[in-house]
Amino acid sequence: MVLAVFGPWLAPHDPSAINIPQRLSAPGGAWLLGTDALGRDILSRLLHGARWSLGLAFLVSVIGLCIGTVVGLLAALGGKTLDWLVMRITDTFLAFPELLAAVVIAGLMGAGTTSLIFALSVTGWMRYCRVARGIGLTLQSRGYVIQARLAGLSPLALARWHYLPALLPSLAVVWTGMFARAILGISALGFLGFGVQPPLPEWGTMLLDARIHLRSTPLQMVWPGLAVVACVLAINLVGDMLRDALAQEERS
C-alpha cells in the first residue's frame, strides 16, 4: 500500500519512456530490474503499476463489501420471502466460478478499466452477503435487538446502530481475503487483455507484455509475478491475524 501511494515519487525513471537501444537490458546499473521490450524501466513500471493493481483491487473489494452487506441485511431483515429470494440469487451467482464469470462479463463489455471494475464487483459480493445475512439472523434473537424493535426503531436504524457494529469485525476478515482475490482477478484480466490498457503500467499487463520474451528474458515475468504473490501473501497473513484475534476475543 505504501508503494501504491508513494511509488510514482520513488520511481527512478519515466515508466512510459521508450528507449529502444536499451531494450531487454539485464538488471544492473541504471536499470535495477532491467528493461522490457521497448526499453522501459521495469522497476519504475512496477512502482507505478502498484497504484493500478492495488488501487483497483481496493476499489473493487470495497464495492463488493458495500453491495454484499446491504443485500445480506435486506435478506436478514426483510422476512422469509425476501430472504429466500435473495439467497437463491446469491446461490446462482456462487454457482459460477468468479474469475470465469468476470472474464465473460469483461469480454462482453469490452476491454478497459470500467468493464474490469464492473465485472469483478458483480462477481465479488456474495461472500459478504452470506456473512451479513448469517450474523443478522443471529442478532434477531438478541434481547437488545428485540427491545429496540419493540421501541419502534426502524429497520434502517436497527441496521445502523445494532447490526453494522456487530458485522464489522467478521466483514473485515472477509474483506482481506476478497482484497487479495481482487488483486489476482485484476492481474488475471490484465494478462488476458481485458484490464488496464497499454501503455499504462499494471502488473497483469506487464505479464502479458513479457510473455513473448519468456524464453529469452524470463525475469521480465518474474518481477511482476513476485509483486502479485508478495501482496496477496501479505494481505492473507493480515486476514489470518485478524481472524485469530477475533476468535480469541470471542473465547474471552
User: Into how many domains does the chain fold?
Assistant: 1
Centroid of chain to Cα 102: 13
> How high is the pLDDT of residue 251?
67
> How high is the pLDDT of residue 233?
93
- Distance in angstroms (rounded) separating the CA atoms of residues 223 and 217: 11
Answer yes or no: is 16 within a domain: no
Closest to 184 in 3D by CA, of 101, 88, 120: 120
Answer yes or no: is 126 within a domain: yes
Answer yes or no: is 4 within a domain: no
Q: What's the domain range around 193?
A: 41-251
Answer yes or no: is 70 within a domain: yes
> How high is the pLDDT of residue 62?
94
3-state SS class at 31: strand
> How high is the pLDDT of residue 179?
94
Answer yes or no: is 238 within a domain: yes
> How high is the pLDDT of residue 29?
80
CATH number, residue 147: 1.10.3720.10
Closest to 112 in 3D by CA, of 43, 56, 161: 56
> How high is the pLDDT of residue 252?
61
Q: What's the predicted TM-score (pTM) here? A: 0.88
pLDDT along the chain (252 residues), means of 10: 80 85 84 87 90 91 93 87 91 86 87 89 91 88 80 79 85 92 92 84 89 85 92 91 80 64
